[in-house]
Amino acid sequence: MSLSIELNQGHVAPLGASVLADGVNFAVYAPLAKQLYVCLFDSSGHTEVLKLAMNNNEGGIWSLYIAPLAAGTLYGYRADGDYQPKKGLFFNSQKLLIDPYAKDLFGEFTWSERHYGQMPIGTLSTVNNAIDIPKSKVVQLLPYQGRKPQHSWGKTVIYECHVKGATARHPTIPAQLQGTYLGLSHPSFIEHLRSLGITTLELLPVHSFISEQFLTAKGLQNYWGYNTLNFFTPHKEYLVTDEIAEFQQMVTKLHEAGIEVILDVVYNHTAEAGSDGPILSWRGLNNLGYYRTVTDNPAVYINDTGCGNTLNIDDPFSLKMVLDSLRYWVEIMGVDGFRFDLATILGRTAHGFSQAHSFLQAINQDPILSQIKLIAEPWDIGPGGYQLGAFPAPWREWNDKYRDVVRRFWQGQNNMLAELAKRLHGSFDLFEHNHRGPLNSINFITSHDGFTLTDLVSYEQKHNEANGEQNRDGHSANYSFNCGFEGFTDDAKITTLRLQQQKNLLLTLLLSKGVPMLSSGSEMGHSQGGNNNAYCQNNRTGWLAWKDSQRSHSLTRFIDDVLSIRKQYCVFKHSVFLHDTDKRFAVNWYTEQSNAMQESDWHDGSKQFLMYSLQDTQLNTALLIILNASDVAVKCQLPALDGDLRWRLALSSVAQAELKNKEQFEVAAQSSWVFTGNLEDQGHG
């Protein structure tokens, strides 16, 4: 580190560390602090070589320009001021703070008592935590230069996966790339996605995160990543060379293959946990701004996330940080969109959720963010937290009602037909009221959270003992069915039925109106041994078990077959709900005898059979879908077609299915069937 340096006031924008000419500008928001310091470290990150006072500016932003200084510099902040937790103030200059706008981090995070402001409780800690916390690192990345695929929602098929778990055991990806960003962009994985018909990769959290202390005490890790340490830095465990540009390389390769990248982002809470948690970054700079606290009692955090704290998006600088982070990942890292974890929190004021929240308005008017893919997980555990269908255009939403209704139907429950029909055709009851369409529904059967597809048909009870919480964690209402035996079995009859039920679920999902999302492993029979909350299983439980002949797996081939049908029918790209007045498309519902469904049929609770056709009068094509969830076969009469068209069996969940009589046949128990009238060519739509 040079001893001859130039210091000046610096600039208040942009926040964070910016390389300018031969120096670096530092800017950080801490309106209630008495003094801010930039602390510079040697290249090892172990020795603090300079502690430089920053300058206070209008609006509570502290700044300092240091020259000569370059990219690669390691630094952190220290904030001096009042330490009064009862008033929501946590200033402690002994705590080195990560820059909320850091674009890279150096070194490992280690849990220790040094991160806490009071140790023991009630005694102000004077212990320096620098040895146990990553250092912020000055970087200078060029904006993303690649060409983005920009798939329309009508053509989008999402594949949700974990960066590490997707390729950690992949047999044809080099060992050094397994479980990394570059592993996802390896030709073997890209070819797998393309063979499935995937257009969009949705990654579980890749913002830098740490494991909670209660997990490390058990010898476990936070595997999923919903415990953010920094909103701008890629999680470094997934790098090969420690260079964050690898993330850009991954995005470029995926884009070149026509595959979009969506990030699952966690802007609802941070790794600093409750008010008795560690001081790592935001708490030590502006606790009252970054976190929601109880009115008139700032010592108490509002915990609408269940994770100890809730980010306060009502605060202008908290809102700015989230928006700046989103733009950074789009403009610099090249991503195509985001799935927002517990998104209700981002639209909640002190008076509840509002479509007019400043965050939603800011997104809508932003020239960059309004043009990308935006997906909400529309619930949290706070008051009025369930907001499915309440987000404004252009938002899409995870549709858990779709998930549960389809599961319950194939589980064999009665009284499901009427609601199932709504879900199959885009859930108009949820989205049409605020001028949205079927493509606003993200349909899914399984996701990272809950049973895998294979476990859904193999377990009726969760088996989460490995998580160390006596099987108390995870959902209990799974609507799962084990096909006659709990867990693994080599009974041929049971395994055949399980495979058939997985195909039933996949066929239903991929031929429903809306945007389909597959969870990784659905195409290869991935099991977590009945663990429906594998958030801490950074091991073979959570990692996909690849085989050399993966492309020949019956589920992989089946998904490809169903998606091939989906892509040929324009009705699935149609962005508005189908009504009787539609001039092009028509949906018709039939009984087993091919009569039109009547009101009494819809309300016959014992019926577990549904048959319907989708017709395109413009192209003179038709699709017939038959779903039989009952445990007995059903004799079925196929409906008549106009003109010279005849039904042709295109696909079935039944192994070696065939149609001997084209007018009438027996629909096997717990099976699904697809018939085509005349396939459209790929150029239509």
Model pLDDT, residue 664: 78
Q: Over 50: is that where the pLDDT of 1 sits?
A: no
Residue with tokens 């059967």: 445
Model pLDDT, residue 685: 39
- Are 214 and 172 in contact, with CB atoms under 8 Å apart? no
Instruction: Give the range among 33-47, 186-200, 600-614, 671-685 with minimum mean pLDDT.
Output: 671-685
Catalytic residues: 341, 377
Residue 292's identity, in one-letter code, is: R
What does the pLDDT look like over 65-87, one tens digit per residue? 999 999 999 999 999 999 999 99
Q: Over 90: is that where the pLDDT of 643 sits?
A: no
Q: Give the mean pLDDT of 423-435.
A: 96
Q: Over 70: is that where the pLDDT of 183 sits?
A: yes
Model pLDDT, residue 679: 44
Collapsed DSSP state (helix, strand, coil) of residue 472: coil
Model pLDDT, residue 656: 75
Tell me the domains of the chain and their CATH numbers.
6-137 (2.60.40.10), 575-676 (2.60.40.1180)
Average pLDDT, the chain: 95
What does the pLDDT look like over 453-506, one tens digit per residue? 999 999 999 999 999 999 999 999 999 999 999 999 999 999 999 999 999 999
Q: Over 90: is that where the pLDDT of 556 sits?
A: yes
* Helices (H), ranges, 332-470: 358-365, 400-411, 417-424, 428-431, 453-456
Radius of gyration, CA atoms only, the chain: 27
Torsional class of 137: left (φ above 0), alpha (ψ -120 to 50), beta (otherwise):
beta
User: For 536-591, where are the E strands, in sequence order?
Assistant: 585-590
- Are 202 and 264 in contact, with CB atoms under 8 Å apart? yes
What pLDDT band is residue 120 in, cutting at 50, 70 and 90? low
